Amino acid sequence: MNAARMEWLRSKKSIENALTEIQKSINNIKERTEKEKELLSDKERSAEASTNLFSLIKYMVDENRRTTMILKSIQENMARLESGIRDTYYEEDVEDQQQNVVRGAREVPISWLDAEILKNVQVLGMACADDIKKRMNYKGRNAASVRLNRLYRLGVLERYQLGRKVYYKYDAGKASNTLIVSPPQ
């Protein structure tokens, strides 16, 4: 029996060794499976992030295209408005010059308010839109600025840029060939 027992012990030991090897193989397979699952989930997250990034880039390109179209439309409208304003002022200036030339002297018709502004500029020597706004009791500076610019375009006033402000001055010497006509008050 000793020999049979010995044989049985050897076979038991070899079976245990085989089981241990099988267990190690199973553990290795489990580890590889876990690593592969992690890699797959990383790839899935990466693919999802790539898809999201692609969608975001596509959205940004579409928004950029829409914004560019809106800006182009605004620019075209502004150019159209500017050309209309430029044409209007140019036509007014040409008509004024053609109608107001009298025997070497230029006749410039101005409104009563423009005449008052001209008087204020003469009294002050030089005036900016803020000065005229105060003296004429305007609510805003734009009205004074528009009237001063019109008198400058008519050649009645001279314009000087001093810092951020624009000043207007009446020079009687340069306006010697100019006859300023204003309606009575």
- pLDDT tens figures, 80-135: 887 777 666 555 555 555 554 445 566 777 888 888 898 899 999 999 999 999 99
* 54 has pLDDT over 90: no
Q: Interior CA angle at 68 toward 65 and 70, to 5°?
A: 110
Structure token pair of residue 7: 């044989």
Structure token pair of residue 60: 């940004």
Rounded to the nearest angstrom, the gap between the alpha carbon of residue 28 and the centroid of all alpha carbons in its chain is 62
C-alpha count within 13 angstroms, C-beta hemisphere, residue 81: 6
Give the largest CA-CA distance in the chain. Answer: 153
* 77 has pLDDT over 50: yes
Domain regions of the chain by residue span: 1-72, 104-181
**Token match 């829409």: residue?**
66
- Specify whether the backbone of 10 is left (phi greater than 0), alpha (psi in -120 to 50) or beta: alpha
| Greater model confidence, 54 or 127 | 127
The answer to whether the pTM exceeds 0.85 is no
Provide the CATH number for the domain formed by 104-181 in this structure.
Answer: 1.10.10.10
